[in-house]
């Protein structure tokens, strides 16, 4: 490869295309050049034994195709040829020539996307509420952990494309670029449709993203669920029996709301929001989170696991010391569940093992700082909304639930904040308050 570089000072120029050789090195590079919407912009030697090939992909689809290509059998065959050729022709043992979707490479590529202000995350085709962290070469598809268990049990060579390590190593944080705006979510047409007006000041205690950057709100003061369009205008609402404390999108145009007491209300969010079935549980349901086919429900000192139809109940985690039902969030790979316990965050794994007893988020007196909500921003970053008198902070924690080093809190000078969610498509932080408003911030991911 080094020799190749010596002969080709201008990798991107025409000399590159005009060359005609038949060594496996060229086959390999030619293969990359054939991938649509991907182009080699630079090839450079980084040190004595390695070479960087810089490739630009003009769209996230192109990036996906590229990643699929380099772990395809055809590419692997070309690598095998290269290794054999080096061994036979040059007597070089070259076990370290291999291709895989290294998490580092993916992250570098994703970082480029972030700096253009777009956060791309790959939702599972089967589970629209769940991120893909795996790739199956047999089916040539990206998938989530739930899919691996249910549909790819016999597939060989499933690769982890986003690993725990990549979460921890990438060391990025979220930065607020600007406020996009504050939006009124109170339904008040006074004369037009008097029966539909919100009676009380809104209390947005739960929020979640829906497909196409729409937002679902739980207004616990008016016992209503509301959907906002991508311009944050209330476009639909429905009344529920009791205060909704939390909402969660579970895929297939369906969302669930945890109502005060022990019921879970299902709603269809396609077009106008519509109530569907109501499920009664035998315990309180405070917060909800969904990953793959699993619905997590927090209830006082216990975290339950259900399927998406509220069947197959299992106790995931029980801790008699917990007094208040925790807010919960699940990491993208489904391996970490974060519990907001009053003032601190506890992390458990997918089997319910206690991983981290109590990550002290604040250094100072924590008694005044209650965790109101938790959400996952992507990139392994966990956002925790903490409320204190006259000031609210959004803390950023890493995948392990540890405070990101040297990253200031995002301080929001808004009273009565209740809930947060993160729009990954548009890289925006949305905050729900108790004052008829939601507040939207444009964000970007920066290296820490
Ligand atoms: Zn899936
Ligand atoms: Zn498969």
CA distance 195 to 40: 62
Q: How confident is the model at residue 104 (pLDDT cuts 50, 70, 90)?
A: low
At residue 406, the pLDDT reads: 64
Q: How far is the CA of 103 from the centre of ligand 2 (A)?
A: 20
* pLDDT value at residue 20: 43
Checking if the pLDDT of 105 tops 80, the result is no
Of 149 and 67, the structure prediction assigns the larger pLDDT to 149
The pLDDT confidence band at residue 116, using thresholds 50, 70 and 90, is: very low
The alpha carbon of 124 and the centre of ligand 2 are apart by a number of angstroms equal to: 13
Distance (Å) from CA 293 to ligand 2 centroid:
17
Task: Write the Ramachandran bin of 26: left for phi over 0, alpha for psi from -120 to 50, otherwise beta.
Answer: alpha
Distances (CA, A) of 402 to 151, 341, 376, 405, 443: 34, 15, 14, 9, 21
Q: Would you call 153 helix, strand, or coil by DSSP?
A: coil
- pLDDT top residue among 345 and 289: 289
Summarised one tens digit per residue, pLDDT across range 191-201 is 667 778 888 99
Q: What average pLDDT does the segment 5-26 reach?
A: 51
- Ligand closest to 158 (CA) is 2
Å from CA of 135 to ligand 2 middle: 8
**Ion ligand 1 — residues with CB < 5 Å:** 124, 126-127, 144, 146-147
**How far is the centre of ligand 2, averaged over its atoms, from the C-alpha of 161 (Å)?**
14
Cα 125 to ligand 2 centre (Å): 13
Cα 106 to middle of ligand 2, angstroms:
21
Separation of 150 CA from ligand 1 center, angstroms? Answer: 9
SS3 94: coil
Alpha helices per DSSP H over 35-98: 60-70, 73-90
SS (H, E, C) the chain: CHHHHHHCCCCCCHHHHHCCCCCHHHHHHHHHHHCCCEEEEEEEEEECCEEEEEEEECCHHHHHHHHHHHCCHHHHHHHHHHHHHHHHHHCCCCCCCCCCCCHHHHHHHHHHHHHCCCCCCCECCCCCCCECCEEECCCCEEECHHHHHHHCCCCCCCEECCCHHHHHHHCEEEEEEEEEEEEECCCCCCCCCHHHCCCCCCCEEEEEECHHHCEEEEECCCCEEEEECCCCCEEEEEECCCCEEEEEEEECCEEEEEECCCEEEEEECCCCCEEEEEEECCCCCCEEEEECCEEEEEECCEEEEEECCCCCCEEEEECCCCCCCCEEEECCCCCEEEEEECCEEEEEECCCCEEEEEECCCCCCHHHCEEEEEEEEECCEEEEEEEECCEEEEEEECCCCCECCCCCCEEECCCCEEEEEEECCCCEEEEEECCCEEEEEEEEEEEC
Question: What pLDDT digit, counting tens, does each position of 427-446 carry?
Answer: 899 999 878 999 999 888 88
CATH superfamily of the 172-447 domain: YVTN repeat-like/Quinoprotein amine dehydrogenase (2.130.10.10)
Token pair listed for 263: 């019921």
Residue 154: CA count within 13 A, CB half-sphere: 0
Ligand at shortest distance from the CA of 136: 2
Helices (H), 347-414: none
| Confidence tier at 77 by pLDDT (50, 70, 90) | confident
Q: Does residue 410 surpass a pLDDT of 90? A: no
Q: What is the pLDDT of residues 175-212, one digit of tens each?
A: 888 888 899 999 987 766 777 888 899 999 999 999 88
Strands 159-160, 172-184: pairing is unpaired
The overall average pLDDT reported for the chain is 82
* Residue 35 alpha carbon to ligand 1 centre in Å: 27
Domain positions in the chain are 1-100, 172-447
Query: How far apart, in whole angstroms, are the C-alpha atoms of residue 73 and residue 90?
Result: 25
Task: Read off the tokens for 133.
Answer: 């962290």
Q: Could you tell me which residue, 359 or 354, shows the higher pLDDT?
A: 354
**Separation of 154 CA from ligand 2 center, angstroms?**
7
* Residue 12: both structure tokens together: 């991107």
The CA distance from 167 to 63, in Å, is 19
What is the Å distance from ligand 1's center to 407 Cα? 33
């Amino acid at each position: 490869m080094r020799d190749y570089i010596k002969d080709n000072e201008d990798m991107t120029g025409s000399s590159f295309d005009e060359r005609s050789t038949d060594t496996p090195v060229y086959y390999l590079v030619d293969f990359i050049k054939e991938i649509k919407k991907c182009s080699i912009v630079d090839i450079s030697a980084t040190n004595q034994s390695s070479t960087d090939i810089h490739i630009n992909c003009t769209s996230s689809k192109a990036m996906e195709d590229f990643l699929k290509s380099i772990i395809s059998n055809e590419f692997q065959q070309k690598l095998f040829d290269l290794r054999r050729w080096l061994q036979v022709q040059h007597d070089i043992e070259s076990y370290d020539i291999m291709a895989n979707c290294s998490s580092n490479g993916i992250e570098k590529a994703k970082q480029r996307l972030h700096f253009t202000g777009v956060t791309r995350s790959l939702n599972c085709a089967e589970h629209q509420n769940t991120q893909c962290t795996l790739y199956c070469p047999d089916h040539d598809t990206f998938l989530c952990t739930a899919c691996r268990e249910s549909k790819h049990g016999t597939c060989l060579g499933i690769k982890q494309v986003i690993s725990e390590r990549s979460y921890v190593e990438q060391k990025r944080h979220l930065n607020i670029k600007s406020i996009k705006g504050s939006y009124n979510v109170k339904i008040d047409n006074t004369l037009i449709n008097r029966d539909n007006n919100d009676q009380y000041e809104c209390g947005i205690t739960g929020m979640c993203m829906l497909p196409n950057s729409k937002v679902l709100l739980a207004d616990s003061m008016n016992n209503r669920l509301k959907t906002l369009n991508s311009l944050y205008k209330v476009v639909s609402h429905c009344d529920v029996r009791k205060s909704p404390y939390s909402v969660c999108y579970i895929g297939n145009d369906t969302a669930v709301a945890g109502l005060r007491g022990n019921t879970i209300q299902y709603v269809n969010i396609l077009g106008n929001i519509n109530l569907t079935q109501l499920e009664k549980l035998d315990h309180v349901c405070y917060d909800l989170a969904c990953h793959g086919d699993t619905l997590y429900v927090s209830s006082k000192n216990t975290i339950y696991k259900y399927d998406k139809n509220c069947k197959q109940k299992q106790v995931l985690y029980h801790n008699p010391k917990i007094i208040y039902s925790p807010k919960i969030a699940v990491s993208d790979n489904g391996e970490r569940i974060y519990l907001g316990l009053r003032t601190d965050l506890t992390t458990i794994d997918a089997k319910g093992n206690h991983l981290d007893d109590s990550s002290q988020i604040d250094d100072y007196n924590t008694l005044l700082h209650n965790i109101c909500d938790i959400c996952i921003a992507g990139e392994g970053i966990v956002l925790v909304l903490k409320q204190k008198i006259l000031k609210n902070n959004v803390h950023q924690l890493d995948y392990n639930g540890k405070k990101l080093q040297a990253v200031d809190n995002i301080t929001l000078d808004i009273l009565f904040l209740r809930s947060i969610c993160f729009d990954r498509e548009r890289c925006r932080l949305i905050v729900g308050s108790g004052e008829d408003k939601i507040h939207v911030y444009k964000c970007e991911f920066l290296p820490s």
